[in-house]
């Protein structure tokens, strides 16, 4: 079995996620989070919140809507530009994303080509339908938004499921600017659902039709794009990136990215912080992380500077996009001003201006898949998810050594004691070895065993997932010691290793 099958099997068997409505053979691109996946997704979202909203005391979270009126997408440009190239088999009528077809059939990257150029590649290479060898239609553009109708009239009020959470921040900008401190930069974050009618989503959990984004739109004075209060903190940080010009991996200091590559300080500061989030908070190995700049042809229609954040996926055999850092300029506010006729300009520090926007955009689901991919480890006798303790869906597992002799009752007591401070599971259903394997497999960092000694002296063992070492501690100290373990102290510093 290859790694992608192993990880997918584990995810589905243990309740991280599984296809929605699978009993009805439902359409690709829709997934349900099981109990473990839901816990882990919340953890990721909370870490993201805590980290990115604390970058500045004027960054906040809001919550908007998934259904937004058509005019919003006229203003944002999605109605006109949010398209993928599509071709249809004239025989079996299967629809393909034309650029992906070229990639699959010719192993040729076609991102950034126009639909006419993609059509030419298909024709000149005489590509046929991979399913039935039928002739392929002329490539045309397909708008990826799902449309819905509001109310019963059926004639007006067309709306769309939002393909990005970002629009809620643009629509709320003026209200929040005045409700808050009339200060720039001002960040508005949204964590919520996004919907895209992907033409033929494959790759299992990677390309979804309904997914969660965590996005932060930062409104700033474009005259101050080369300023950032905390610049000195990151100016020596080395950023791993591939620029569109050099097309090779480099590690460049923030200060040089600003001075030599002319990337604005406002942009580079947030690059450094995103890299820190992945390397220091989630512990993604440095060599698996990079920024990749998109060329002018590849960039999203609203971006002036666009780097994707990519991590190497073993399960997908390559670096894949999990987030993006986008300089959207005043594209959206200007678009909404023109469409709605509402002024979007503000007065800031006695200056009338249309703010520009820097967007941090993360796909939550892709990040969850990435974490499973990166931290999945197979050892001789066990499989484990060696997650950072902060992202593990369950933090502590409590077991009685045997399911008799008052040990389960004592174990339950410990379970109740710990669950006020941690996410804890309780299991008494098998041999201790088997129970350890089951919790290693879902990445539980600490396991507590209640044995006969516990009944005599009120002590229990704590086992560390990563090296399987154990210490013995008194139950009265358990919460405190676990707190320190979860805050990064080594287990051997918290007690004597007994095994």
d(CA 469, CA 481): 15
Pairing, β 346-348 against β 289-293: unpaired
| Nearer CB in complex with ligand GAP: 322/392 | 322
d(CA 450, CA 174): 57
Q: Kindly state the smallest distance separating residue 367's Cβ from ligand GAP, in Å.
A: 7
Closest CA to 344 of 334, 356, 358: 334
Please provide the size of the chain in residues. Answer: 499
Three-class SS of residue 114?
coil
Q: Does 119 participate in binding ligand GAP (rule CB under 6 A)? A: no
242 touches 290 (CB < 8 A) = yes
Exactly one of 168, 315, 348, 361 binds ligand GAP (CB under 6 A); that residue is 361
| Nearer CB in complex with ligand GAP: 76/137 | 76
d(CA 102, CA 119): 10
Exactly one of 211, 220, 267, 319 binds ligand GAP (CB under 6 A); that residue is 211
DSSP per residue over 176-223, as a string?
Answer: HHHHTTS-SSEEEEEEEEEE---SS--TTTTS-SEEEEEEEEEEE-GG
Q: Does 115 participate in binding ligand GAP (rule CB under 6 A)? A: no
d(CA 276, CA 234): 10
Q: Does 363 participate in binding ligand GAP (rule CB under 6 A)? A: yes
Residues 6+ apart with CB under 8 A from 415: 398, 424, 426
How many residues of this chain bind ligand GAP (CB under 6 A)?
18
Q: Kindly state the smallest distance separating residue 209's Cβ from ligand GAP, in Å.
A: 7
Q: Does 213 participate in binding ligand GAP (rule CB under 6 A)? A: yes
| Nearer CB in complex with ligand GAP: 83/421 | 83
Q: Does 365 participate in binding ligand GAP (rule CB under 6 A)? A: yes
Per-residue x/- mask for ligand GAP, residues 269 to 308, rule CB under 6 A? ----------------------------------------
341, two tokens: 């006729």
* Through-space distance between the first and last CA atoms of the chain, rounded to whole angstroms: 33
Three-class SS of residue 180?
coil
Q: Kindly state the smallest distance separating residue 30's Cβ from ligand GAP, in Å.
A: 11
Exactly one of 40, 55, 72, 166 binds ligand GAP (CB under 6 A); that residue is 166
Q: Kindly state the smallest distance separating residue 328's Cβ from ligand GAP, in Å.
A: 8
Tokens 């409590």 sit on residue: 398
Closest CA to 111 of 191, 389, 16, 121: 121
Q: Does 366 participate in binding ligand GAP (rule CB under 6 A)? A: yes
| Nearer CB in complex with ligand GAP: 4/412 | 4
| Nearer CB in complex with ligand GAP: 162/470 | 162
| Nearer CB in complex with ligand GAP: 250/321 | 321
Q: Does 162 participate in binding ligand GAP (rule CB under 6 A)? A: no
Exactly one of 99, 164, 293, 395 binds ligand GAP (CB under 6 A); that residue is 164
Per-residue x/- mask for ligand GAP, residues 311 to 330, rule CB under 6 A? ----------xxxx------
DSSP per residue over 390-431, as a string?
Answer: TT-S--EEEEESSS-TTHHHHHHHHHHHHTTTS-EEE--SS-
Exactly one of 84, 215, 221, 332 binds ligand GAP (CB under 6 A); that residue is 215
d(CA 425, CA 418): 10
Phi, psi at residue 419, to the nearest 5°?
-70, -10
Exactly one of 119, 198, 332, 395 binds ligand GAP (CB under 6 A); that residue is 198
Residue nearest to ligand GAP (CB): 363
Positions that interact with ligand GAP (CB under 6 A): 164, 166, 196, 198, 207-208, 211, 213, 215, 321-324, 359, 361, 363, 365-366
């Amino acid at each position: 079995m290859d790694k992608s099958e192993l990880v997918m099997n584990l995810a589905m068997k243990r309740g991280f996620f599984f296809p929605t409505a699978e009993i009805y053979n439902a359409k690709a691109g829709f997934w349900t989070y099981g109990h473990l996946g839901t816990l882990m997704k919340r953890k990721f979202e909370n870490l993201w919140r805590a980290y990115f909203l604390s970058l500045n005391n004027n960054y906040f979270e809001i919550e908007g809507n998934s259904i937004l009126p058509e005019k919003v997408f006229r203003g944002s440009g999605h109605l006109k530009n949010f398209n993928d190239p599509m071709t249809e088999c004239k025989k079996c009528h299967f629809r393909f994303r034309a650029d992906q077809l070229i990639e699959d059939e010719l192993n040729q990257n076609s991102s950034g080509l126009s639909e006419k150029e993609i059509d030419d590649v298909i024709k000149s290479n005489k590509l046929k339908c991979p399913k039935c060898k039928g002739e392929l239609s002329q490539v045309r553009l397909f708008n990826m938004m799902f449309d819905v109708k509001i109310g019963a009239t059926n004639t007006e009020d067309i709306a769309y499921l939002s393909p990005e959470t970002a629009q809620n921040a643009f629509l709320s900008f003026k209200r929040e600017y005045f409700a808050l401190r009339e200060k720039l930069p001002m960040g508005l974050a949204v964590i919520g659902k996004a919907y895209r009618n992907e033409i033929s989503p494959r790759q299992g959990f990677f390309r979804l039709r309904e997914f969660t984004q965590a996005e932060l739109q930062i409104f700033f004075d474009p005259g101050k794009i080369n300023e950032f209060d905390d610049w000195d903190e990151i100016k020596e940080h080395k950023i791993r990136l591939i620029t569109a010009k050099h097309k090779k991996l480099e590690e460049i200091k923030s200060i040089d990215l600003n001075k030599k590559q002319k990337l604005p300080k406002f942009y580079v500061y947030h690059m450094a912080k995103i890299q820190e989030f992945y390397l220091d908070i989630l512990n993604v190995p440095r060599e698996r992380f990079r920024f990749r700049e998109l060329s002018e042809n590849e960039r999203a229609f609203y971006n002036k500077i666009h780097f994707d954040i990519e991590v190497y996926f073993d399960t997908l055999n390559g670096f894949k996009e999990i987030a993006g850092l986008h300089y959207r300029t005043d594209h959206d506010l200007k678009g909404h001003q023109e469409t709605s006729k509402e002024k979007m300009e503000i007065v800031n520090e006695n200056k009338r201006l249309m703010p520009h926007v820097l967007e941090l955009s993360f796909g939550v689901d892709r990040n969850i898949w990435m974490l499973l991919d990166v931290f999945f480890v197979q050892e001789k006798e066990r499989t484990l998810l060696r997650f950072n303790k902060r992202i593990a869906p369950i933090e502590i597992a409590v077991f009685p050594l045997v399911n008799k002799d008052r040990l389960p009752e004592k174990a339950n007591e410990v379970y109740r004691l710990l669950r006020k401070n941690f996410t804890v599971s309780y299991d008494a259903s098998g041999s201790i070895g088997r129970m350890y394997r089951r919790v290693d497999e879902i990445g539980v960092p600490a396991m507590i065993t209640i044995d006969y000694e516990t009944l005599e002296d009120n002590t229990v063992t704590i086992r560390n997932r990563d090296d399987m070492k154990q210490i013995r501690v008194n139950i009265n100290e358990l919460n405190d010691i676990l707190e320190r373990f979860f805050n990064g102290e080594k287990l051997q510093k918290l007690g004597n290793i007994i095994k």
